[in-house]
Every structure is written in C-alpha cells, then in structure tokens.
Amino acid sequence: MMKNFEDVNAAGKELMDNSLKSIAAVSKSAQVIASESADYAKQSLEMGTGFFEKLVAAKTLDKAIEIQSDFAKSAYEGYVAQATKLGEIYADMAKEAYKPFEASLSKAK
C-alpha cells in the first residue's frame, strides 16, 4: 500500500514539475510574441506615415501610382516576413511546451 502511495506521489510531483516547466516556456514565448507584434506595429505605422508623406508630395499621377505600388509591395513583403517569424515562434513554443512531458510519456509506454 505504501509503495503505491509513493508511486502516485512521485508521479504527481513529476507532473507538477513538468507542468510548471511547460507554463514557463509558454510564458517566455508569449513575451517574445508580444514584443515582436509591438515592434511590427510600430514599424508598420512608421512605414505608413512615410508612405503618406511621399504620396502627398507626389507631383504627378504616375509618381503617386509608383509610390503606392512600392508601398504595397514592401507592406506585403513585411507582412509575409512577420507571419513567417511568428509561425516559427509558435512552432518553437509548442516544442518547448511539450519537451518536459516527453520523458514522462516515453515511460508510460
């Protein structure tokens, strides 16, 4: 009877430790995601402000179209780069959150 209690107690402790490690990994990744998102928002705002200033200064319709096309291209490229970066961060977060449980799950098999 005492052996079973010790086994259950050890398993509960291991689960708690693994859960805390997993939560720490998710928390760290969430901070990185928030920071990246804030940086991207700031960069996007600055880019939009620069675009508007250039557009207002355009003397001809052709120049305005060229400015708008350049802005659209760079905005799209920036968005794709940011989405790719965030996707990698989310994938890393999932791996790090799962890592503490790998040993426990392999023992259970």
In this predicted structure, the answer to whether residue 27 has a pLDDT above a threshold of 90 is: yes
In this predicted structure, the answer to whether residue 104 has a pLDDT above a threshold of 60 is: yes
Q: Which pTM was predicted?
A: 0.77
The dihedral built from the CA positions of residue 46, 47, 51 and 52, taken in this order, carries a sign that is negative
Instruction: Report the pLDDT value the prediction gives residue 74, as an integer from 0 to 100.
Output: 96
Would you place residue 91 in the very low, low, confident or very high pLDDT band (cuts 50, 70, 90)?
very high
Percent of the chain beyond pLDDT 70? 93
In this predicted structure, the answer to whether residue 2 has a pLDDT above a threshold of 80 is: no
Instruction: Report the pLDDT value the prediction gives residue 1, as an integer from 0 to 100.
Output: 52
Q: Give Cα 104 to chain centroid, integer Å.
A: 27
* Rounded Cα distance, 91 and 103, in Å: 20
Instruction: Report the pLDDT value the prediction gives residue 8, as an integer from 0 to 100.
Output: 73
Residue 21 has which token pair? 């490690």
Give the residue among 70, 74, 66 at the shortest CA–CA distance from 43. Answer: 74
Convert the pLDDT of each residue in 53-81 to its tens digit.
999 999 999 999 999 999 999 999 999 99
